[in-house]
Amino acid sequence: MPDGAQPVLDVRDLKTVFRTRSGEVHAVNSVSFDLRPGELLGVVGESGSGKSVTMMSLIGLVPMPPAEMRGGEVLFGGQDLLRAGPAAMRAIRGKRIGFVFQDPMTSLNPVFTVGYQLCEPLRRHMGLSKAAARKRAAELLDLVGIPDAARRLSDYPHQFSGGMRQRVMIAMALACDPEVLIADEPTTALDVTIQAQILELVKDLRQKLGMAIIWITHDLGVIAGIADRVLVMYGGQIVEHAPVRELFANPQHPYTRALLKTVPSVRGDRAPRLRVIEGQPPILTAAPDACPFRFRCGHRFDRCDAENPPRFPTGPAHDAACFWDPATDAPRNA
């Protein structure tokens, strides 16, 4: 994909704060990234690093209150989603931007058949007749690899296995032919074999349908196999951004380097979990005016306590938010 291509989605300086009894939680702290046509952008980071809140914020699904948007822009097709009204957002969400969440049981309604739930957006957003929607729904189930698709439209969510339910969720997200698909840890709850099948399916669908995908995971192994570029999140911030091979070959941020050490060279039957990094996750109630990783970092020095490092360019299409330079094993001259 050409580097200069106009992004599908351009997120700038996104800030989301939760106001809680124990103070403000800086869940998303000045997050900026773009999504390019047809690419698969991986987002990786341990639990609580702000991955979900970032994505929910940009499609207007973060609950306000307790959340408060403190700034930023989300440019999509010439408009700023943060300033689009509720009606405009309803026309975009689920239609031009599809999403899949971790647990299909919370997103699929148990009292309606899968066919009904697939047809509903097709009728509402695409204006299809009942018969046309039913036909398209069967095609969608077929597309995501559900055998005997037409008949299974009459089944309820609980009649599908976990992996098949996740396929139904993907079919629903794809129903209106979205330009962007956001998948938030969609395979985490599945066993490794099913996980691999879903990843294959998504790779295949991307080839066929050409949409851009944001794939969120806490599993670097998953990212390695499917992403073009990767954002590494820590403490509500993007701490590193690079093309996937570059990230694995030449990691810059101490957090990314620690993560990579947790990925076994030969994948066992269990995906590597990021929580094996020593130390406590950052406390997001602290104002983000110092490096969020400093307490777990082996390269910490005075400046890390006094300033929050900006994202330094460290190579073409590669940046890292760290004052330490792994090339010289010394503080950066910046």
Ligand X SMILES: Nc1ncnc2c1ncn2[C@@H]1O[C@H](COP(=O)(O)OP(=O)(O)O)[C@@H](O)[C@H]1O
137 touches ligand X (CB under 6 A): no
Which listed residue (16, 29, 52, 166) binds Mg ion by CB under 5 A? 52
- Answer for which of 29, 41, 50, 230 binds ligand X (CB under 6 A) is 50
Q: Which residues contact 296 (CB under 8 A, 6 or more apart)?
A: 255, 258, 277, 278, 279, 280
The count of residues interacting with ligand X (CB under 6 A) is 15
> Which listed residue (9, 14, 17, 25) binds ligand X by CB under 6 A?
25
Spacing of C-alpha 184 from chain mean position: 5
Name 100's bridge partners: 183
Q: If contact means CB under 5 to 8 A according to the sort of partner, which of Mg ion, ligand X, none does residue 25 touch? A: ligand X
Q: Record the tokens describing residue 243, joined without a space.
A: 């093309």
Please, are residues 217 and 42 in contact by the beta-carbon 8 Å criterion? yes
Question: Which residue in the set 11, 15, 17, 18 belongs to the binding site for ligand X (CB under 6 A)?
Answer: 18
Cβ burial, residue 65 (10 Å; 0-12/13-18/19+): exposed
45 binds, among Mg ion, ligand X, none (CB under 5 to 8 A by kind): ligand X
Nearer residue to ligand X within complex by CB, 48 or 254? 48
Instruction: Extract the tokens encoding 220.
Output: 């670097």
Segment interacting with Mg ion, rule: CB under 5 A, options 51-59, 171-179, 203-211, 287-295: 51-59
CB of 216 to Mg ion, least distance (A): 7
Q: In whole angstroms, what is the distance from residue 134 CA to residue 115 CA?
A: 7
CA distances, 296 to each of 9, 74, 130, 141, 205 (Å): 33, 32, 56, 46, 39
Which of residues 94 and 236 has its CB atom nearest to ligand X in the complex? 236
Task: Determine if 45 is a binding residue for ligand X (CB under 6 A).
Answer: yes
Q: Which does 284 bind (CB under 5 to 8 A by kind): ligand X, Mg ion, none?
A: ligand X
Which residue in 48, 7, 55, 47 sits closest to 31, CA to CA? Answer: 55
The span of 40-48, 159-167, 199-207, 272-280 binding ligand X (CB under 6 A) equals 40-48
Least Å distance, CB 61 to ligand X, is 11
Q: Where are the alpha helices (DSSP H) in 234-317?
A: 244-249, 254-262, 302-306
Amino acid at 58: L
| Residue 147 C-beta: closest distance to Mg ion, Å | 31
Of the listed pieces 45-53, 125-133, 187-195, 204-212, which binds ligand X according to CB under 6 A?
A: 45-53
Distance between CA 75 and CA 51 in Å, rounded? 19
Which part of the chain contacts Mg ion (CB under 5 A), choosing from 17-25, 43-51, 173-181, 306-314?
A: 43-51
The footprint of ligand X on residues 58-117 (CB under 6 A) is 63, 66
**Separation between Cα atoms, residue 117 and residue 213, nearest integer Å:** 23
Interface residues toward Mg ion, by CB under 5 A: 51-52
Interface residues toward ligand X, by CB under 6 A: 18, 20, 25, 27, 45, 47-53, 63, 66, 284
